[in-house]
């Protein structure tokens, strides 16, 4: 049986991938999967069970994530990541996790482990998955590929707003710096670096209303999957 379509949405930190992916999935009756949450869960496990981050080795991190375990569970139109059988909630967005997640995401053993979870979760398709390498590595045969970008300062403003923090110019500059540092690590790593996939449609959301970027992705999906339920 042929699988249903897969929509891959990649892009740098804070470009609106997850919120866009969730809205597109809702509109199409697909399931949303935030792959970054799985990398965050791995970082959370490493922080809780291994020594100082500078000493982490790929095999040990992947081993800890496999045992802990990090798992995914589908339900109600979305996937949830589980750590030790329970949803980790806000811990995934903690500063410590955000700081160390790019370190574990650069490890080949960790990427193999996470890719296994992502591919088995989406085996039947009907999925909107967002991340950094979904269109390049995880699902290179995705029916629709989107690369979402936005100016760093606009991304910083959105991130601060999301977290209910004040966004004076100092705060924006600091947040933009942190986002760009993470992008640099994600774009320059040896394994599955952040890059626009061949065949991906670039959408710059800097000046776009949220509804408009959602509309554009839905239009691409309808065009690509015309006749497919
Ligand atoms: O999307 P989010 O910002 O939550 O992702 C957190 C981190 O997980 C990214 O900075 C990146 O290092 C890693 N990641 C990845 N590949 C993906 C998704 C996320 O390397 N497909």
Tens-place pLDDT, residues 2-44: 899 999 999 999 999 999 999 999 999 999 999 999 999 999 9
Whole-number pLDDT of residue 40: 98
Q: What is the mean pLDDT of residues 201-224?
A: 96
Q: Residue 82 pLDDT > 70, yes or no?
A: yes
Whole-number pLDDT of residue 55: 98
- To test the pocket of ligand 1, the residue of 13, 45, 46, 101 to mutate (highest count of ligand atoms within 8 Å of its CB) is 101
Q: Which is the closest atom of ligand 1 to the Cα of 13? A: 3
Q: Residue 130 pLDDT > 60, yes or no?
A: yes
Q: Is the CB–ligand 1 distance for residue 15 below 6 Å?
A: no
Whole-number pLDDT of residue 221: 95
Q: What is the mean pLDDT of residues 178-184?
A: 96
Nearest CA to 147 out of 185, 203, 198 is that of 203
Q: Residue 165 pLDDT > 90, yes or no?
A: no
Q: What is the mean pLDDT of residues 83-99?
A: 95
Percent of the chain with pLDDT over 70: 98
Whole-number pLDDT of residue 1: 67
| pTM exceeding 0.85 | yes
CA–centroid distance, residue 1 to ligand 1 (Å): 31
Q: Cα Rg for the chain, rounded, in angstroms?
A: 17
- To test the pocket of ligand 1, the residue of 53, 81, 132, 200 to mutate (highest count of ligand atoms within 8 Å of its CB) is 132
As a whole number, the mean pLDDT across the chain is: 95
DSSP for residue 71: E
The DSSP string of 101-137 is HHHHHT-HHHHHHHHHHHHHHTTT--EEEEESSIIII
Q: Residue 229 pLDDT > 60, yes or no?
A: no
Closest residue by CA, ligand 1 atom 14: 36
Could you tell me the CA-to-CA distances from 228 to 4, 5, 126 in Å, in that order?
Answer: 8, 8, 10
Q: What is the mean pLDDT of residues 132-143?
A: 98
Could you tell me the CA-to-CA distances from 152 to 16, 114, 158, 180 in Å, in that order?
Answer: 12, 27, 10, 7
Whole-number pLDDT of residue 125: 95
Whole-number pLDDT of residue 166: 84
Whole-number pLDDT of residue 145: 98
Q: Residue 68 pLDDT > 80, yes or no?
A: no
Pairing of strands 144-149, 127-131: unpaired
Whole-number pLDDT of residue 41: 98
Closest residue by CA, ligand 1 atom 15: 132
- To test the pocket of ligand 1, the residue of 36, 91, 180, 181 to mutate (highest count of ligand atoms within 8 Å of its CB) is 36
Whether residue 116 is preceded by a cis peptide bond, meaning omega within 30 degrees of 0, is no
Nearest CA to 203 out of 228, 221, 190, 177 is that of 221
Q: Residue 96 pLDDT > 90, yes or no?
A: yes
* CA-angle at 116, arms to 110 and 117, nearest 5°: 95
Q: Let me know: does 45 contact 83? Beta carbons within 8 Å.
A: yes
Percent of the chain with pLDDT over 90: 90
């Amino acid at each position: 049986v042929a699988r249903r379509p897969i929509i891959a949405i990649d892009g740098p930190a804070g470009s609106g991938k997850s919120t866009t992916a969730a809205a597109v999935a809702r509109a199409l009756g697909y399931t949303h999967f935030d792959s970054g949450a799985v990398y965050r869960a791995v970082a959370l496990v490493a922080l809780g069970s291994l020594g100082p981050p500078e000493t982490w080795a790929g095999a040990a991190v992947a081993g800890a994530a496999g045992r802990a375990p990090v798992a995914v569970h589908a339900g109600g139109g979305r996937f949830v990541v589980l750590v030790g059988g329970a949803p980790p909630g806000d811990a995934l967005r903690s500063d410590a996790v955000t700081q160390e997640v790019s370190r574990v995401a650069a490890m080949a053993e960790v990427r193999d482990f996470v890719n296994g979870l992502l591919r088995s979760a989406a085996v039947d398709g009907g999925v909107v998955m967002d991340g950094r390498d979904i269109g390049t590595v995880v699902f290179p045969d995705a029916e629709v590929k989107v690369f979402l970008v936005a100016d760093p300062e606009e991304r910083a403003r959105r991130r601060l707003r999301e977290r209910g923090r004040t966004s004076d110019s100092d705060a924006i500059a600091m947040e933009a710096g942190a986002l760009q540092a993470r992008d640099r690590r994600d774009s320059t790593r040896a394994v599955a670096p952040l890059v626009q996939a061949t065949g991906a449609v670039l959408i710059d959301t800097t000046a776009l209303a949220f509804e408009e970027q959602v509309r554009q992705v839905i239009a691409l999906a309808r065009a690509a999957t015309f006749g497919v339920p």
